[in-house]
Amino acid sequence: MNWSFRIAQVRGIDIKVHVTFFLILLLGAIQWAGMTPNAPAEGALFGVVLMILLFTCVTLHELGHSIAAQAFGIPVREIVLLPLGGVALISKNPDKPLHELIIAIAGPLVNVAIAVVLFFVTGATLRATLLDGRGTLGELIMQPSLETLLLWLLAANITLVVFNMIPAFPLDGGRVFRALLAFFLGFPRATQIASTVGQVLAIALGVLGFISGNFILVLIAVFVFFGAGQEQAHAQAKTVLQTRRVGDAYNKHALSLQIGDRVSRVVDYLLTSYQPDYAVMQGNTIIGIVTRDDVMRALAERAEDCYVTEIMQREFLRVEATRTLDEVRQLLTEQGSRLAAVFDGSRYLGLISLEDIAEAFAVLSFLERQRQLRQEREWIS
């Protein structure tokens, strides 16, 4: 994710912090400084520490999802911490309902475990504090102290469990709901139902937030609403793209380059065609790929008209023409690439990109809609 930097790595998963995350630290410092007018510096420091520990719990929550996903062979690229929470960038959705159920529930279970530990710890410290006569419970949670820290963390972990289990995408509860439905209805229908329920709940949350003046709740409602819609669109794309092979969608009339060609040849192609990517060939063998970005970088950094072999990408993804478009899309996403070379056994056929797959999805969606319209007309007549 852009505008984020790595602070740690666990089991090969990068833990990153988005630059906007520091806004929540600032908010915590300001809030607690205002709550402790007699010692604002101490309150501000307490607020920062509380926020850091709270987001440590969020990170552990996301690690719960990530480690469960890895256990089922699903790669996890990174975890990114944002002001509103954390996001685990899991490369793909599980193929089996049971796997999705376990992955979805793993995060909240981490918070349950943390809450249980904090419950017993805070119970012991609170009894000692209240017996010593150092204040009531209401007074304790409004002043910086170890007891306050533990109580806020306990409440936060309970809140994380309750909120995340709301049955609305992209929250964990929405994924649990879909997994349970998928056992009986299959993923496409289960996703459609779960996404619709999620958007209805999001509208309800938004109205509640607007009436109560809770701006954060409104933002969360917007996030949930569009997240549910995105999940439904992703499921629809998966269903459509599973119906066609890569061999049906790669560019069969693509221009290619030879090892003796220079960058000026690619520039001519870019100016006279819509093709952005070119295979560099040695006879019938592909030895590299040159993209539009490679050419623009060469034009910006080099004065001479260099050979395409000097700027080409020698390492590239290879896929079989028999694989489905959805499989290749997932593979490209997992590899962090947008382009692959298509082969029929050892014979090179052409290139396919994420943009090509998106175009294929658009065309196939219209074809499916056309088929449905014909069926409706036949039924009416």
Question: Tell me: the pLDDT tens digits for 313-347?
Answer: 999 999 999 999 988 988 888 788 889 999 999 89
Q: What is the pLDDT of residues 187-229, one digit of tens each?
A: 888 888 888 888 888 898 889 888 888 887 888 888 888 888 8
- Judge residue 344's burial from the number of C-beta atoms within 10 Å of its C-beta, 0-12 exposed, 13-18 middle, 19 or more buried: exposed
Nearest to 168 by CA among 160, 178, 159: 178
Q: Is residue 336 part of a domain?
A: yes
Q: Is residue 328 part of a domain?
A: yes
Rounded Cα distance, 277 and 201, in Å: 44
Residue appearing with tokens 């954060």: 216
Q: Per-residue b/e over 264-295, b at no fewer than 16 CB within 10 Å?
A: ebbeebeeeeebbbbbbbeeeebebbbbeebb
Number of domains within the chain: 3
Q: Is residue 372 part of a domain?
A: no
- Domain encompassing residue 198: 167-241
Q: Are residues 28 and 131 in the same domain?
A: yes
Q: Are residues 159 and 39 in the same domain?
A: yes
Q: Is residue 375 part of a domain?
A: no
Q: Are residues 136 and 41 in the same domain?
A: yes
Examine the pLDDT at 268 and tell me if it is beyond 90: yes
Q: Which residues contact 304 (CB under 8 A, 6 or more apart)?
A: none
- Asked if residue 47 lies in contact with residue 29, where contact means CB atoms within 8 angstroms, the answer is yes
How far are the Cα atoms of 118, 148, 189 from residue 232, in angstroms, in the given order? 38, 42, 10
Question: What pLDDT, on the 0 to 100 scale, is given for residue 141?
Answer: 58
Q: What is the pLDDT of residues 56-88, one digit of tens each?
A: 999 999 999 999 999 998 888 889 888 878 888
- Asked if residue 250 lies in contact with residue 349, where contact means CB atoms within 8 angstroms, the answer is yes
